[in-house]
A and B are shown apart, each in its own frame.
Chain A
Amino acid sequence: MKRFGLVTGICLVGLVILGAAVSLVWTPFDPIRVVPGQRLQPPGWPHLLGTDGFGIDTFSRLLVGARMCLVVGIISVSLAAVVGVPLGMLAGQAGGWVSEAVMRLADVVYAFPALLLAILLAAGFGASTVTAMVAIGVATMPAFARVARAGTLQVMASEFVVAARSSGTSPWGVAGRHVLPNIAPLIGVQASVGFAMAILAEAALSYLGLGTPRPTPTWGTMLRDAQQFLFVDPLQALWPGLAIALAVLGFNLLGDGLRDYLDPRLREVS
């Protein structure tokens, strides 16, 4: 049953990556060019999932949308990890007031909702993919810092670290050689769950018109467009939402599956 979740997660994530990769070399139709004569076609041939209100092939837009969702996910999660993990490790290794300061800072950032941050950035700089990625990345940082700190504390208490420290290994050496390799799996799990969150947040932002601007296809803007034709062509509102849900489900299942797979206590049970 546990493996079932992990395998499903890997398959769904694989599907998103495949869609994004295919869109790099080929899409059935132009995903951007407006074709007035082809508006709101039903699903069939040659438009597999029909066309949207601009006459653009929905399947083509979905494929390109997968690319945007991966780009935003990778960059915002990397940003969060690159800042959050070292801070969390610092807090875990240094302890004392350093730890207190880092974790309180994390609390403050954590309390500031990603969506509000994105709205602020959009108001100041104008909405773009970059403001969305920065907002999502900053909002996810505290989660990485917490996971890294908790993992570091655990590793620091282990005998091999005590041995390394007493034989004169510098804190940097301990961090690089012992802590980081041991907390890497935890970070991987967090990255997968963070990725799911990033996809949801990016979709919400582009749905609100605060993310990637037109004409670049994203799943969120596709839903925004489809909502205008809800009474005429309800199917158009189905596909992009389904794509978002499956991608998020995939990354969540992957994260949960990895956690169960890596957690020795749970492994003993199964």
Chain B
Amino acid sequence: MSTAGWRLARRVGIFAVSLLGASMLIFVVTAALPGDVAQVLLGMDATPEAVARLRHQLGLDRPLPVQYLSWIGGILTGNFGVSHLSGDPVLALMLPRLAVTLWLVLFGVIGSLVIALPAGLLAALKRRHWQGFLVNALAQVGMAIPVFWGGILLVLLFAVKLRWLPANGYVPLSQDLGKWASHLVLPAVTLSVVQGAVLTRYVRSAFIEVLNEDYYRTARAIGWTPTAALVRHGTRNAAISLVTVLGLQLSTVLVGAIVVEQVFTLPGLGSLLLTAVAQRDLLVVQGTVMFLVLAVLAINALVDFSYLLIDPRQRSGGEET
């Protein structure tokens, strides 16, 4: 097999093992722990017989490994189980909320790139000038702002003071385009600003590395302007570090979205998860966390695959780091 083939196979292996480990952790922490679901559902007055009957109905009287296998087997075939509380399939609970979270993540990532690419480029080019210091200082401050506080501040300004945008809530795209957009602006900007600050620092150091390379000096020597040389030659070379960071960003944004949903009371996966935790609806917790972890691991794997596309050197072997 070619080196690229081996790398792909190895990466798929790591992905599978990570997924297995994560699923076991999720199952053990939520299922093997105190708090009998049947007892919770029936209340403290329930007779032991009724509890035992329900436990049998829910399959809770089976040995844990059997329960795990039936759970993970279900997930592999797209069956995430049924909520103990509402009786709805977990997947049916997740799907309508997935759209909300995906919109948020999509706009959050785009927004953070729109902020970070120019800011990072500026900070790299002007790193010994006041512009560079200013970008650095702003990025430091942006990184220190908790995402939920950033959201609250935006609400204070744009919803409470100026009354331009709604403070919370959500309207589906299919219902009203304008209202859908206006409800998403503040949450998306919140995510973008905080993530953009982190990303700016990475963009800056990736481009600074390019500035020290021979090909950049050559391009400058034959008359390219700094910006043109950096954009023309730097982008592909900086892309490797940027894709890594973007992958990490995607997972951070996904997790950040859980918090931001809470700030703006958006009905996404995060609010589903937190409500389920509060109600101890364990199958919903398991299913949603599993889904989110699957997304994060898949993103990480895709990032690794993309190296092969971006960097021809990695296709033909070379030392592994």
Give the B-binding residues of A (Cβ under 8 A): 1, 104, 107-108, 111-113, 115-116, 119-125, 196, 200, 203-204, 207-210, 223, 226-227, 230-231, 234, 237, 240-241, 244-246, 248-249, 252-253
Contacts and interface: CB of A to CB of B under 8 A. Distances in A.
Contacts of A253: 140
A252 B277 CA distance: 32
Given A120-B285, A249-B144, 14 more contacts: A1-B133, A104-B17, A113-B252, A116-B255, A119-B289, A125-B33, A203-B148, A204-B148, A208-B274, A227-B152, A234-B160, A237-B153, A245-B149, A252-B143
A123 B282 CA distance: 7
Interface string B121-160: 0000000000001000000110111111100110110001
B144 A246 contact: yes
B149 A124 contact: no
A111 B300 contact: yes
Range class of the B interface residue count: 35 or more
A122 B29 CA distance: 10
B237 interface: no
Interface in B9-54: 14, 17-18, 21-22, 25-26, 29-30, 33-35
A248 B144 CA distance: 5
Contacts of A227: 152, 263
A111 B296 contact: yes
Contacts of A112: 22, 25, 293, 296
Contacts of A125: 33-34
B292 A122 contact: no
Nearest to B145: A245
B217 to A, nearest CB: 19
Contacts of B205: none
Contacts of A200: 146
B153 A124 contact: no
Contacts of A108: 17-18, 21-22
B304 to A, nearest CB: 10
A124 B31 CA distance: 8
Nearest to B297: A111
7 contacts: A119-B273, A119-B274, A122-B277, A124-B33, A230-B160, A245-B146, A249-B144
A241 B152 CA distance: 9
B246 interface: no
A14 B153 CA distance: 26
Interface string B222-262: 00000000000000000000000000000110110011001
B293 A116 contact: yes
A5 B280 CA distance: 45
Interface string B271-303: 001101110101001000100110011001000
Given A107-B14, A120-B26, A245-B146, A115 B258 contact: yes
B26 A111 contact: no
Closest 9 A/B residue pairs (Cβ): A241-B149, A249-B144, A248-B144, A124-B33, A113-B255, A123-B285, A123-B277, A124-B29, A108-B18
B113 to A, nearest CB: 21
B143 A248 contact: yes
Contact of B146 (A121, A210, A241, A252): A241
A249 B140 contact: yes
Contacts of A248: 143-144, 146
Given A119-B274, A119-B289, A252 B148 contact: no
Contact of B259 (A120, A196, A208, A252): A208
B90 interface: no
Contacts of A210: 274, 277
Nearest to A115: B255
B167 interface: yes
A196 to B, nearest CB: 7
Contacts of B29: 120-121, 123-124
Contacts of A207: 146, 148, 259, 262
Contacts of A111: 18, 22, 251, 293, 296-297, 300
A223 B152 contact: yes
B146 A203 contact: yes
Nearest to A5: B140
B141 A249 contact: yes
Contacts of B26: 120
Contacts of A122: 277
Nearest to B254: A113
Contacts of B258: 115, 208
A104 B11 CA distance: 11
Given A111-B300, A204-B146, A204-B147, A123 B30 contact: yes
Given A123-B282, A249-B140, A116 B156 contact: no
Q: Which of B35, B146, B259 is packed against the most chain A CB atoms within 10 Å?
A: B146
Nearest to A253: B140
A78 B263 CA distance: 31
Contacts of B133: 1
